[in-house]
Amino acid sequence: MAVTGDFSGIDPGRPSAARVYDAMLDGSSNFEVDRALARQMLAAEPRARRWAYANRAFLRRAVGFLLDEGVRQFVDLGSGLPTVGNVHEIVHGYRLDGRVVYVDVDPIAVAHSRLLLAGDERAGVVCADIRDVDAILADPVTRRLVDLDEPVAFLAVAVLHFIAQNPGPMLTGFRSVAAPGSYLAVSHLTTPGDLSADAAEVVADYNARTATPLTFRGRAEVAGLFDGWQLLAPGVVPVDEWWPEPGDLEELEAHGRVPIWAGLGRLGPAV
């Protein structure tokens, strides 16, 4: 299905991170330029689609864990295009009083999300750069759905590697307004140890053509993003090793580790 709507401000000749990711997940909300780049990436690195699905599975497991912990407010930073297993679907399948705010700067992602959520008073979309903490918190959608006096889960899943500058100050901004018992979930790309020259060339080409180039970070750098949060077990680990489900370890043994770090932190009481 082609992308439709009034997207006059979009350059259809320039790939978008959200749309390329959607193409990787076999979605339909993308342009040919996004599909072409996804095909190019998969030709150079056939494991990339598995990596995308593994990241999506982490999101599902993390949200499930948070629901079990009693969290009922979620802010999905850099939420991208709607696809199977959206946060609000997971949340509302568990508890009907759960509330979800999606945040993205991509107009197509925002438009599709608003269409999907039309009539749902328990979820909404904010069009903003995730680095603009004040704008996100002041947005009427956030103010309606999120009570900062109660615990909230901030989900920064597969988004911080699109920020070249240190994301720490941004995350500190969210932490500074969060109630004790709040959470931060992060997944972040790192450089595969066996990345081929062809795949490296594709990454370089993507970085040259998009407004959101990739910045790879190592395990210690990702762990540093949890400054001020209590990093929960098992710590910062490959995304498919974060509390894997039955069958996941067999997949790991067959295909190797996914080059995405993941972790979950909890905010303790003020001291």
pLDDT, averaged per 10 consecutive residues of the chain (271 residues), comes to 44 79 84 90 88 92 97 96 84 95 92 90 96 98 98 98 94 97 97 75 81 90 97 96 78 70 92 45
Rounded to 10 degrees, what is the CA torsion of 35, 37, 41, 44? 110
Domains of the chain as residue ranges with CATH = 51-196+212-266 (3.40.50.150)
Residue 164: name the closest of 211, 127, 227 by CA: 211
CA distance 16 to 8: 15
Give residue 3's pLDDT.
Answer: 39
Total-model pTM: 0.90
Give residue 4's pLDDT.
Answer: 40
Phi-psi map region of 209: left, alpha, beta (phi>0 left; psi -120 to 50 alpha): alpha
Give residue 13's pLDDT.
Answer: 75
Phi, psi (rounded to 5 degrees) for 57: -65, -35
Give residue 46's pLDDT.
Answer: 87
